[in-house]
Amino acid sequence: MDETRRTALNAWLSQAAGAAVEIGGASLLSGGAIQQNWALSVTRGGGAEEWVLRTDNAATLAVSLSRSEEYALLRAVFAAGVTVPEPLFCCDDATIIGAPFFVMRRVAGTATAFRLAKQAAAMGGNAELVRHAGREMARIHSIAPPRGDLAFLGTPPADAGIEFIRAMRERLDAAGTPRPVLEWGLSALERNLLPPLPPVLCHNDFRTGNLMVQGHAITAVLDWEFAAWGDPHADLGWLCAPCWRFGNLALEAGGLGPRAPLLEGYGPGADPARLPFWELAGTIRWAVIAADQGARHLSGQERGLELALTAHIIPELELDILRQVEALGAGSA
């Protein structure tokens, strides 16, 4: 961040905070393909605070939420008691630092899924952490439409299961690669549709890699880009899908612990009978995302090893899908 932008940011923050803000240090935490996160060490009215500034990279994709929408989501879930960094200020004016941004409080902890799963496996499952994850999810799902502040999420689907099948088929058609196993999975979902539930706010990427953890406590639920109205079991199923267990197959909840403490932490409202449907849906969804990532490499849009190898995850997911279809069929027969 150059001197001109820093001065402009300083002035804007002081006005937004209604107190003199001095930026003592600014360092780039992570630069993803789409967003940048800056660590800001500031004083506000003389007191030291640690903040994170989140902004767009120059080449922004239209698919993800805008920064101001992400800020609105953070405010909504923070108010609902979800453990997220406290959102502080949002700036839609792209002239201050070159792109819109928002500022949140910085939280302690690390988001390293592999290490978490390894630690959990060594202790035979971390029930405490998984219970906490269940509580966080229940708080997210306490938010229900209509919500004027979340109008950008659009109209909730009348039936989240039917909508899921439709959306996946549309993406498969757009990608153009025939995938009989994914069709097999979607057809099984169609045969096993559940009565729809009233829609709630779903995180839609609630997995171990998006949990910031310190000790046995979740210090932040990260990455709200895919949030949408849907069936709460979509989040439970995504976390419990076999592909997110890091080899700890018996620890169904994200490779961290068994399903039981997750559901216990979640409390009333979680119906275990709906999980097989949404776990299969989760596996199919990850396969469709992986296919799209591989296609970005194949099309030459963004060539690279990571995207190329992501496509090679699909056969293993297909193996999971065939097993899950069989289990779903056995359960419903």
Q: Contacting other proteins (CB under 8 A), which of 24, 47, 146, 180?
A: 180
Report whether 85 contacts 43 (CB < 8 A).
no
Cα distances (angstroms) measured from residue 121 to each of 38, 243, 246, 263, 265: 33, 16, 10, 19, 20
Tell me the closest approach of the beta carbon of residue 16 to other proteins, in angstroms.
36
Does 305 help bind other proteins (rule: CB under 8 A)?
yes
Those residues with Cβ within 8 angstroms of residue 311's Cβ, 6 or more apart along the chain or in another chain: 290, 291, 293, 294, 295, 297, 298
Per-residue tokens: 154 = 């659009």
Binding track over 122-161 against other proteins, x by CB under 8 A:
----------------------------------------
Q: State the amino acid at position 203 in one-letter form.
A: H
Tell me the closest approach of the beta carbon of residue 324 to other proteins, in angstroms.
13
Does 309 help bind other proteins (rule: CB under 8 A)?
yes
Tell me the closest approach of the beta carbon of residue 314 to other proteins, in angstroms.
7
Does 226 help bind other proteins (rule: CB under 8 A)?
no
Exposed, middle or buried by CB within 10 Å (0-12, 13-18, 19+), for 16?
Answer: middle
Give the DSSP H or E segment for 157.
none
Query: To 10 degrees, what angle do helices 232-240 and 127-140 make?
Result: 150
Q: Return the number of the residue (39 or 313) whose C-beta is nearest other proteins.
A: 313
Q: Return the number of the residue (80 or 327) whose C-beta is nearest other proteins.
A: 327
Phi, psi (degrees; rounded to nearest 5) at 195: -60, 135
Q: Contacting other proteins (CB under 8 A), which of 56, 223, 235, 318?
A: 318
Does 181 help bind other proteins (rule: CB under 8 A)?
yes
Q: Contacting other proteins (CB under 8 A), which of 22, 225, 292, 316?
A: 316
Residues in contact with other proteins, counted by CB under 8 A, come to a total of 24
Binding site for other proteins (CB under 8 A): 169, 178-181, 183-184, 186-187, 191, 305-306, 308-309, 312-316, 318-319, 322, 329, 333
